Chain A
């Protein structure tokens, strides 16, 4: 529009026009563009507002697309996560899940995501891990971290550097499968000495609710100790054991397999929670972008109408000055 072009030209020449009046020049450089109404400056520029609106609109489109992608990934992985729950349930029925067990060497396995923009799930996992660490580190016990995922690594590096044992990343390059998780579990078993492993992850309840959970896996020696002490694990002797001469050998196999199954379930549930959290984060982000866009549109219209009114007033007063 010619008027818009003239307005832009007016803004460029404004400092020269009003330079004999230094106060005005300072005011026009200090004030933001849309409020510039100094002498002889006929330019309330809507350019800035228009740029902001364009960028906010782009952000809204991007976040909407990310939400769709997360929703489709969630659908795919949710089925697998719910099916994998059946893997560890027999183990819990047999060996029990005892978070209150008192052991010397604790290892906390924190599962987090590699990518960001997924809401607060990684922070909650890290918070729970730190709380567990605090509970479990006493005078004669030690507590170490094994971290899966970049986001957990970034948060835990800041203050727990000396307690970190292993960091595993780049897990989701291929589709998540049992073989990968079991190899991970193997790496952890071979490199870390533990009496009890506490796995911290976000359990997927529904698309909007993720519960941070801890699953405890004991090493075979501790299982034996607990079974001597009686309780749930003490019933192990009443089972008929096949394929293994001694109870300790069977317990060792069982403990390793239990760790692998629990890890598999934990990784899948955390991935589900990540996609769900990303969906809701992107959804609220696009809604915020929409609100921002509405507000900016109002400002834009007000600015535009004000500039048109100013033009009209100038023209009319100029015309009436000519006549009168």
Chain B
């Protein structure tokens, strides 16, 4: 099976389908006019904190956030 031949550009760039669809959705949201645009942008906010663990020990947590830290 020619599995590497037909890989789409975004997958070879390291993105998953989820990232790809999120970027597309962001583009669509930016096409809206006000006031719907600000409502839609508010639906896109991301904030969480990730801690990776290795061998039973937590490493430094990183915060993944679109909003400024206050």
Contact = CB atoms under 8 A, between A and B. Distances in A.
Contacts of B48: 168-171, 173, 180, 183-184
Contacts of B51: 166-169
B53 interface: yes
Nearest to B43: A177
A41 interface: no
Q: What interface size band does chain A fall in? A: 35 or more
Q: What interface size band does chain B fall in? A: 20 to 34
Nearest to A192: B52
Interface in B7-48: 7-8, 11, 16-19, 21-22, 25, 42-48
A171 B45 CA distance: 11
Interface stretch (A18-26, A197-205, A211-219, A253-261): A253-261
A238 interface: no
Nearest to B44: A179
27 contacts: A164-B56, A165-B52, A166-B53, A167-B53, A168-B50, A169-B49, A171-B48, A173-B48, A173-B67, A174-B45, A174-B46, A175-B42, A177-B43, A179-B43, A179-B45, A180-B47, A182-B18, A185-B18, A245-B6, A246-B1, A249-B3, A249-B6, A249-B8, A249-B11, A252-B11, A256-B17, A256-B18
Interface of B: 1-3, 5-8, 11, 16-19, 21-22, 25, 42-53, 55-56, 58, 61, 63-64, 67
Interface of A: 161-162, 164-171, 173-175, 177-180, 182-187, 189-191, 244-246, 248-249, 252-253, 256-257, 259-260
Given A174-B46, A245-B6, 7 more contacts: A161-B56, A166-B50, A167-B51, A168-B49, A171-B48, A183-B46, A256-B18
